[in-house]
Amino acid sequence: MKKELLMASALVSTLGVASVAQAVTATMAGSMKVGVEFESADDSTTDSNTVMDQSNFNISLSETTDAGTTISTSFEIVDEGTVSADDDNAIKLTFTDGSALELLNAGNAAGTHAAAVPGASGEQGVGGTCTNNAPTGIDFAAGSTALGVEWHSAADFMADGLKVSASFSTDNGAAKAAAARTENSWGVGATYVTTAGDSTVTISGGLADAEIATNGTQASSDKGGFNVGVVAVTGDLTVGVGYGDGDTFVSSTTNGSNQEIDGSVTTAGIKYVTGDITLALGMTSGEGKDGAFGTAGTTDDSMDSTSASVTYAVASGVSAVIGYTTVDAKNEAVNTTDDGSSWYIGASMSF
């Protein structure tokens, strides 16, 4: 028995050494955020104080073949009160010419090229229980299924500073159900980087479309639309603006309760870095007409928010944050419990 245990230990040890020698390259990153949020909603809702304790851990895996193709993927574990894992990550092949192909869970190219408009830091926000369906992100019309691919060009595609992407996703083969879902999609996007005097200007945008599947009444319009944006960086100052317009939906497990939304959203922001301090200001204005599938909405939901923050770099990887947000929201043109303001004071440590 002792010999068998020794042999088993030796075998495990040998396999372990072999697996390490053949392992792909792994890199790690993550952060821990701890702070307190002071939320003051509309007059019908009690003010609240909440301790925000959030952590995330990301692992990226990659290896390069003898032919020079890099194979990579990643996953993330997030703890925001309940632990969850983000496994919606594609297998990415990056070729020697700089182009790349993502396989499975690839996403939509229109969302890939949505403008990175600067905004405030912090975990502040105003919660509510209403059915306000105004969009808040300019890529809200970009949808996809898990069975998708996305191609990315190399840099300087056909022109200096230009990159483009195209994506397609298809049906997962599941039977139609009461809950509406994206059945297939396509998307295209582009980003162009140029200079204007002392500024670096990034112009980006995308176009997307997707079919919606349900065994009940079909939506008047499928999911789809476009987004455009411009971000300019001049020294320590960054300014940007983005706009999205299109159709989307909210799924329900009950036939007749799926919601279709015709919406638009504008975002704008400014960020300035001075020494160890970063000042940021952002605004979002979204509106959408929602209605049951087959019946286009006629009255606007709206969500207008303005946020500001001051971030101080205490030490390498350690930051202190003070943030503020004010929100004006209407559901079917009537003020809702999403109205109010919020403060956040906290710190983050990242690696």
DSSP string, 177-227: -SS-EEEEEEEEEEEEEEEETTEEEEEEEEEEEEEEE-SSPPPSS-EEEEE
The answer, yes or no, to whether residue 234 has pLDDT greater than 60, is yes
What is residue 53's predicted lDDT score, i.e. its pLDDT? 86
Nearest to 287 by CA among 229, 221, 331, 340: 331
What is residue 16's predicted lDDT score, i.e. its pLDDT? 42
| Alpha helices (H) along 41-139 | 109-112
Which amino acid type is present at position 24? V
What is residue 30's predicted lDDT score, i.e. its pLDDT? 93
**Mean pLDDT across the chain:** 88
The SS3 call for residue 280 is strand
What is residue 2's predicted lDDT score, i.e. its pLDDT? 40
What is residue 39's predicted lDDT score, i.e. its pLDDT? 87
pLDDT band at 249 (very low <50, low <70, confident <90, very high): very high
pLDDT digits (tens, 9 = 90+) for 110-139: 999 999 999 999 888 887 656 788 999 999
Token output for 150: 């996305």
Which amino acid type is present at position 20? V
Give the whole-number percent of the chain exceeding pLDDT 90: 68
Q: What is the torsion angle, in degrees rounded to the nearest 10, for the CA atoms of residue 157, residue 137, residue 241 and residue 56?
A: -80
Q: Residue 103: CB partners within 8 Å, gap ≥ 6?
A: 90, 91, 92, 93, 149
Rounded Cα–Cα distance for residues 289 and 263 (Å): 6
The SS3 call for residue 15 is helix
What is residue 15's predicted lDDT score, i.e. its pLDDT? 39
What φ, ψ does residue 146 adopt, rounded to 5°?
Answer: -65, -30
Average pLDDT over residues 190-216: 95
The ranges assigned to domains in the chain are 113-146+153-350
Token output for 93: 């092949």
The answer, yes or no, to whether residue 48 has pLDDT greater than 50, is yes
The answer, yes or no, to whether residue 235 has pLDDT greater than 90, is yes
The answer, yes or no, to whether residue 223 has pLDDT greater than 60, is yes
Q: Which residues pair with 134 in a beta bridge?
A: none
pLDDT band at 4 (very low <50, low <70, confident <90, very high): very low
Element (H, E) at 16: helix 2-21
**CATH number for domain 113-146+153-350, candidates 3.40.462.40, 3.90.550.10, 1.10.3720.10, 2.40.160.10:** 2.40.160.10
Which amino acid type is present at position 13? S
Strands 162-169 and 148-152 turn out to be antiparallel
Rounded Cα–Cα distance for residues 47 and 342 (Å): 10
The answer, yes or no, to whether residue 86 has pLDDT greater than 80, is no
Token output for 220: 């008047």
What is residue 147's predicted lDDT score, i.e. its pLDDT? 93
Buried b (16+ CB within 10 A) or exposed e, 38-63: ebbbeeebeeeeeebebbbbbebbee
How many H-runs (helices) and E-runs (strands) does the chain carry? 2, 18
Determine the Cα angle at 29 with ends 229 and 349, to 5°: 90
Rounded Cα–Cα distance for residues 346 and 49 (Å): 13
Model confidence pTM above 0.75: yes
